[in-house]
């Protein structure tokens, strides 16, 4: 592929991605008040999306259960239990990630 | 209270918030830079793509497209399908970004799964928008920096760091627990969980994100409709 074409394909991808990110701003442009429904949806989406993102991170657990899926679940449990106990974000992230990496390395 | 803003304090807050993103982005983008290099695309292409496209999974797919020469239609369609979840992220931030003046376009461009999640945890104080901006900026720089690094010195890095990207999963789990404890309305979280597990089973791990987000938005709208008239208010 020529340099020009590579740059072109990257720019095209950038354009599409930015367009998708900007779409809600284009639909509700200017400073006019957002419809109440959209405001409310915007407020309720984050907790729902957080669930979707967790499922996204664990999407391969089922298909690779015996290799690392099971360790992912163990590490999630470590994070959840330690966070419930101490409520310290960094301790829980560190603990969960280290446990997961060790489990991967030694199995 | 209208004291001048302490920018170094704001940057520090943003940096601390961005640390989990750093762990995830740097290693993922180093892997990206390496794969680009292996496909015959040197670091400046990785830097350019990471700066202007700035989306995880799709950039990896793009490597194959760039090295194999896929048709424009394929590229457009894949970009649309893989990145349309971004639309849903923007919905939550329409009002916030509107207030951010010149930074608005950059905030839209820099919205990712991770910055969406982290910026959602920033308390609604007077510095909120500034902290959000720096979280977005730092995350973007981690991603670009790692892409360059991967292209240049990728071969020198021992890749025994397998599994480090789990820090992002951990962060999402923590945010989930935090929000769960701070509200009595668990419906959105549960609908999200149910919808995404259902879609994962039906559509499989490759393509379930978009149907999940569509389904959960639909369900949220329906449940809002049902509540309407019963009571007003939220959270």
Mean pLDDT of chain B: 88
Nearest to A45 by CA among B184, B198, B89, B194: B89
Provide the pLDDT confidence category of residue B231 given band limits of 50, 70 and 90: low
How do the domains of chain B map onto residue ranges? 7-182, 184-230
CA distance B129 to B25: 22
pLDDT in tens, B3-52: 667 899 999 999 999 999 998 898 889 889 988 988 889 999 999 999 99
Decide if the complex's ipTM is over 0.90.
no
Contact residues for B43 (Cβ-Cβ < 8 A; gap 6+): B33, B36, B37, B147, B148, B150, B151, B152
Contact residues for B94 (Cβ-Cβ < 8 A; gap 6+): A24, A25, A28, A34, A38, A42
B167, B221, B234: residue with CB nearest A97: B167
Q: What mean pLDDT is predicted for residues A93-103?
A: 93
Please report the pLDDT score of residue B232 as a whole number.
Answer: 53
Could you give the percent of chain B with pLDDT greater than 70? 92
CA distance B199 to B216: 10
* Region for A70 from its dihedrals, namely left if φ exceeds 0, alpha if ψ lies in -120 to 50, beta otherwise: alpha
**Closest Cα in chain B, distance from residue A49 (Å):** 6
A:B CB pairs within 8 Å: 238
Residues 6-65 of A with CB under 8 A from B: 6-7, 9-14, 16-18, 20-25, 28, 31, 34, 37-60, 63
Provide the pLDDT confidence category of residue B70 given band limits of 50, 70 and 90: confident
Nearest to B89 by CA among A18, A79, A62, A57: A18
């Amino acid at each position: 592929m020529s340099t020009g074409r590579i740059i072109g394909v990257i720019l095209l991808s950038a354009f599409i991605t930015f367009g998708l990110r900007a779409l809600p701003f284009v639909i509700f442009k200017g400073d006019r008040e957002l419809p109440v429904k959209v405001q409310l949806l915007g407020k309720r989406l984050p907790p729902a999306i957080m669930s979707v993102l967790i499922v996204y991170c664990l999407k391969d657990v089922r298909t690779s259960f015996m290799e690392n899926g099971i360790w992912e679940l163990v590490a999630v449990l470590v994070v959840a239990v330690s966070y419930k106990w101490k409520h310290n974000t960094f301790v829980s992230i560190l603990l969960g990630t280290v446990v997961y990496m060790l489990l991967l390395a030694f199995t | 209270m209208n004291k001048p803003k302490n920018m170094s304090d704001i940057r520090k807050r943003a940096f601390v918030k961005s640390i989990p993103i750093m762990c995830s982005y740097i290693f993922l983008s180093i892997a990206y830079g390496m794969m680009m290099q292996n496909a015959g695309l040197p670091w400046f292409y990785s830097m350019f793509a990471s700066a202007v496209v700035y989306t995880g999974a799709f950039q990896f797919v793009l490597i194959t497209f760039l090295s194999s020469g896929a048709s424009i239609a394929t590229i457009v369609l894949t970009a649309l399908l893989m990145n349309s979840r971004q639309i849903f992220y923007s919905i939550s931030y329409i009002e916030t970004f509107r207030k951010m003046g010149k930074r608005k376009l950059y905030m839209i461009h820099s919205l990712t799964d991770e910055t969406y999640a982290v910026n959602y945890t920033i308390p609604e104080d007077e510095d909120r928008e500034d902290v959000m901006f720096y979280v977005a900026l730092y995350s973007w720089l981690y991603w670009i920096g790692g892409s360059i690094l991967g292209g240049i010195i990728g071969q020198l890095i021992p890749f025994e760091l397998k599994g480090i990207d789990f820090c992002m999963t951990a962060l999402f789990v923590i945010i989930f627990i935090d929000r769960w404890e701070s509200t009595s309305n668990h419906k959105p979280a549960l609908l999200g969980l149910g919808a995404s597990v259902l879609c994962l089973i039906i559509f499989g791990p490759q393509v379930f994100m978009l149907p999940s987000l569509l389904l959960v938005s639909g369900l949220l709208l329906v449940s809002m409709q049902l509540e309407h008239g019963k009571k007003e208010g939220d959270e």
